[in-house]
Amino acid sequence: MAEITDMMKDLAESAAKKADVTYKVTRLRFRRSALAKLLDSQYKELGREVYKMCRQDGGDAEEIEAMAVQIERTHRRIDAIGQQIERVLEIVRCPVCGRVAKIKNPRCAYCGTQLAATEAEPEENETDFITSGEEIQL
């Protein structure tokens, strides 16, 4: 009887963990897609400014540089979210073939490259996460 109870407890725990992972990943993907939209609008703005400059109709080189810096920043934030998603899903990307592998696997299943022993990285502080999210202007 005790075995069945333990089994049911394990099942419940694993279901709860899956639900938690799904929730976290959904949130991160939502955040990432908001950032992708932001990035599109930043590129559009940059394009307009460059166009003006090409047509000698204004366009400010300093402004263009500042926009490029913003774009780089958005790219970095998108990459960081991608890494967070991989952490939540407990996957890593093989440094050689780029395929996805489970963190616990010692080697890539496709090319056999030894995967770095990934130590559990501390999850990003929830407060920081929310604060950085609030910077998104849509």
Site of interaction with Zn ion (CB under 5 A): 94, 96-97, 108, 110-111, 113
DSSP 57: S
* Residue 36 Cβ vs Zn ion, minimum distance, rounded to whole Å: 27
* Residue 94 Cβ vs Zn ion, minimum distance, rounded to whole Å: 3
Residue nearer to Zn ion on the CB measure, 67 or 101: 101
Report how far residue 52's alpha carbon sits from residue 2's, in angstroms, rounded to the nearest whole number. 75
Ramachandran sector of residue 119 (left: φ over 0; alpha: ψ -120 to 50; beta: rest): beta
How much is the CA Rg of the chain, to the nearest whole Å? 21
* Residue 93 Cβ vs Zn ion, minimum distance, rounded to whole Å: 9
Which residue type, as a one-letter code, is found at position 11? L
Residue nearer to Zn ion on the CB measure, 35 or 108: 108
Report how far residue 125's alpha carbon sits from residue 137's, in angstroms, rounded to the nearest whole number. 21
* Residue 8 Cβ vs Zn ion, minimum distance, rounded to whole Å: 38
Q: How many CB atoms lie within 10 A of CB 71?
A: 16
Residue nearer to Zn ion on the CB measure, 29 or 107: 107
Residue nearer to Zn ion on the CB measure, 97 or 103: 97
